[in-house]
Amino acid sequence: METVPLSSANAPRLIDGKAIAAAVTEDVASRAAALAAKPGLAVVLVGEDPASAVYVRMKSEKAEALGFHSVQHSLPAETSQDELLAVVDALNADPAIHGILVQLPLPAHLDSAAVIAAIDPDKDVDGLSVINAGRLAVGDPNAIVPCTPLGSMTLIGTVHGTDLSGLNAVVIGRSRLVGLPMALLLAKANATVTIAHSRTKDLPGLCQNADILVAAVGRPEMVKGDWIKPGATVIDVGTSRVPDASRKSGQRLVGDVAFAEATHAGAITPVPGGVGPMTIAMLMRNTVEAAERKAR
Amino acid sequence: METVPLSSANAPRLIDGKAIAAAVTEDVASRAAALAAKPGLAVVLVGEDPASAVYVRMKSEKAEALGFHSVQHSLPAETSQDELLAVVDALNADPAIHGILVQLPLPAHLDSAAVIAAIDPDKDVDGLSVINAGRLAVGDPNAIVPCTPLGSMTLIGTVHGTDLSGLNAVVIGRSRLVGLPMALLLAKANATVTIAHSRTKDLPGLCQNADILVAAVGRPEMVKGDWIKPGATVIDVGTSRVPDASRKSGQRLVGDVAFAEATHAGAITPVPGGVGPMTIAMLMRNTVEAAERKAR
């Protein structure tokens, strides 16, 4: 793989998001098959944004491939708030649907927060709602956790297991959808967690103390090699496109970490092929879990 | 004050929770007077626990002193879940009531979580509900924040102002009602925040790097003097009773910090008289703010 140039004896272990996501989805498929009623996932798309259309199709196809009941609602760009809320309400009431995903961003005339708040929290498989954020904060086992931090935790688990006692974790980024839930998950797993961000003083020095370093900022290669503690596990959530004349497309994807400099990390996620592939896998896992909870 | 033995020229600044709480309540009283309708606080007590009865009376009396409409419901210990929920529902529906506080702990046969969840989130002035925890996590300005972390932030503000950029904060304790909301509040105020706890490795060394140290564990005097960075601001949330033969009561209150050893701190809260007095003041502030929001 050209994105993974490390190969010396001392090179870090590559955390293969594709392979781990495949294992997660295999588990999800078998759990889905064990249920009397198929897990049902409804994906709602408003408007014709091409990137959103691609994401929605990928999610629907994955759901079908796993044996889910998969429903897609494609609504015109001029759909009103009330019309969209009516679709959400109908899906809330539909016993064959266990997960509802409204693809963001919505057209500007729609109120995303109100739409997300209208989704039954037990069907909010993206974990975007205030109630699921609160459940995570208070430690409610019914919390549905946003897919990116959940996938990142799963990757960390392949290196360290589920108990991170005695490990220092540093999360760079304090966003509501990645940085903050990531910090809460790490603290619950017994790591000592530091939330760092653009106002942090001596970020390199702070990172040098991290046994687990999670970069979730979206600034290409901002984490330099000498910020990384030897042997650390590095989870790179960022994806940015940078110009690259050697590529046919004229650009390539890079993460928040200067990957080529991270030769002394213990384990690291590549970009692409690290955290990215986990997102859809976690969406499917959240959906089968929602179906399992409903079946109990 | 015998609990505040520091007096040398280099002694830390004492953060006087009593005086700061008095200033907060004075502000609350003037805001209450400016409202067309009085802020209404309802306090619900179930059973005859003497300590709970004292707390409830203190809260009701403070509300009256501030010119609030103050209501107290004292229900017998054998009150059923349905009866208690009916009281909460009636208070939710009462436009004269802006804040509802159910004194915890409830008798064992009652489901506290369900009772808290039944309180209108906009009247949940203790900030105990899942929805208010979620609002805090997602940065919703309508979040009602639990009184102890909110009071601790107010004390920190008297030393550092509201922007903590460039400062390292360490919170010892990861409880849902103090440690975790405290960490979220500090991160939102631009501090770099570390959540430490019983599984943390080298807690003394970690604390030595803290410009702001918040101890919220409930272990008497566990934070030793040499854990404290010279000049640091120390917020001591813990209160424990320890034996003291020199007192008539045979005991005294101590915090999580070995106060007498903290001679090189920059500022420190005493116990008692630090965080403690802030709690009721913040409850009153949360109530007047709930009334102000309703009046808009």
ipTM score = 0.94
pLDDT value at residue B9: 55
d(CA B134, CA A134): 3
The span from the CA of A162 to the CA of A158, in Å, is 9
Q: Do domains B36-122 and B146-276 have the same CATH topology?
A: yes
> Which residues are bridge partners to A193 per DSSP?
A169, B195
Write the residue in B130, B190, B194 that is nearest to A134 by C-beta.
B130
What are the start-end ranges of the E strands in chain A?
Answer: 13-14, 40-46, 69-75, 99-102, 168-172, 192-196, 212-215, 233-236, 240-243, 251-254, 267-268
pLDDT band at B199 (very low <50, low <70, confident <90, very high): very high
DSSP bridge partners of B215: B172, B236
SS3 of residue A236 by DSSP: strand
The class of domain B146-276 in CATH terms is alpha beta
Closest-CA residue to A281 (of A44, A59, A39, A11): A59
Which candidate, B220, B236, B224, places its Cα nearest to that of B268? B236
| Cα separations in angstroms, B15 against A56, A237, A243, B168 | 55, 41, 54, 19
Contacts with A216 from chain B: Cβ below 8 Å: none
The domain covering A36-122 belongs, at the CATH homologous superfamily level, to Leucine Dehydrogenase, chain A, domain 1 (3.40.50.10860)
CA A92/CA A98 separation, integer angstroms: 8
Test mutation, A112, A119, A140, A180, chain B, max B CBs within 10 A: A180
Q: CA nearest A190: which of B175, B202, B199, B203?
A: B199
Tell me the one-letter amino acid at B245: A
Residue B99: what pLDDT?
98
The predicted pLDDT at position A152 comes to 98
Q: Tell whether the model's pLDDT for residue A238 goes beyond 70.
A: yes
CA distance A277 to A108: 29
Q: E strands along chain B, which residues?
A: 13-14, 40-46, 69-75, 99-102, 168-172, 192-196, 212-215, 233-236, 240-243, 251-254, 267-268
Domain ranges of chain B: 36-122, 146-276
Q: What is the per-residue pLDDT for A6? A: 47
The residue of chain B with its CA nearest to that of A138 is B176
Give the C-alpha separation, A118 to A130, whole Å.
11
What percent of chain B shows pLDDT beyond 90? 96
Residue B232 clears pLDDT 70, i.e. is over it:
yes
Q: How far apart are the first and last CA of chain A?
A: 44
* pTM, 2 dp: 0.95
- A190 Ramachandran zone, left/alpha/beta (phi>0; psi -120 to 50): left
Q: How confident is the model at residue B3 (pLDDT cuts 50, 70, 90)?
A: very low
Mean pLDDT within A41-70: 96
SS3 for A1?
Answer: coil
Mean predicted confidence (pLDDT) in A125-140: 97
Interface of A with B (CB under 8 A): 129-140, 165-168, 174, 176, 180-181, 183-184, 187-188, 190, 192-197, 199-201, 206
Q: Which residues in chain B are closer than 8 Å to A129, comparing Cβ atoms? A: 134
pLDDT at B34 over 80: yes
Backbone CA torsion sign across B179, B180, B186, B189: negative
The Cα–Cα gap between B191 and A201 comes to: 9
